[in-house]
Amino acid sequence: MLQKFLRPHEGMLFIENYESRLFSSIHMLFMNFNITVIWLNENNRVVDKKIAKRWTIAHLPEKPAKYILELHESRIEDFQIGDMLVFKDL
Percent of the chain beyond pLDDT 90? 86
d(CA 21, CA 24): 5
Say if residue 1's pLDDT is above 60: no
Q: For the whole model, what pTM was predicted?
A: 0.91
Angle at 31 between CA 10 and CA 39, to 5 degrees: 55
Q: CA 38, CA 48: separation in Å to the nearest integer? A: 6
State what percent of residues in the chain have pLDDT above 70: 96
- Pairwise CA distance, residues 80 & 27, whole Å: 22
For 16-28, what is each residue's pLDDT tens digit?
A: 999 999 999 999 9
Does the pLDDT value for residue 2 go beyond 70?
no
In 3D, which of 35, 76, 54, 83 has the Cα closest to residue 14? 35
With bands split at pLDDT 50, 70 and 90, how would you rate the model's confidence at 87? confident
